[in-house]
Amino acid sequence: MSDEDEDEDEYEDESEEKQVAVQGIGGLLTKVDPQEAVAFVGKFLDLARESKITEREVERYRAMRDIAITEITEKYKFAHELMNKTFEERRKIIEKDFELVDKGIEQHDYQLVNSGLQHITTTIKDNPFKLFQVTTADQRRKMLEDGDLALE
């Protein structure tokens, strides 16, 4: 036997020693190279890390969603209460203005009638969202908690 043949036999023996018998699916035995097994485990660990990162991202997005829903709900509550109070207040003001118009008509005081109608027009034209636009979320929350929706 030549030196080359011996080297080749020795290489095959080392190669066979490095391979590990693994029970495969259905009871079949397959030979796995340890380097491939290490590479597989490495890829599996990378996948597990990526899965954890994805889980954290999903939780972060859920938290962002919950915060957004809370903010929208608070804005809705504030707008709803603001509208209720605004139109309740406007109704009272307009009723008083119409009483003024009626009184002006009874007394034939057209300046009083004109004043009442102008005030009605001003009241109706006033933007009910003005207060909503100039307040922050924290201010709106405090106003709701305090029940303080005093309108100008």
pLDDT, greater one: 115 or 24: 115
> Is the predicted pLDDT of residue 18 greater than 50, yes or no?
no
Percent of the chain with pLDDT over 70: 66
Give pLDDT, residue 119.
Answer: 92
In the chain, what are the domain boundaries?
Answer: 17-146
> Is the predicted pLDDT of residue 21 greater than 60, yes or no?
no
What does the pLDDT look like over 43-89, one tens digit per residue?
A: 999 999 999 999 999 999 999 999 999 989 988 888 888 788 878 88
pTM: 0.48
What does the pLDDT look like over 84-106, one tens digit per residue?
A: 887 888 899 999 999 999 999 99
CA distances from 5 to 12, 13, 15, 19, 116 (A): 11, 12, 15, 21, 117
Q: What is the mean pLDDT of the chain?
A: 78
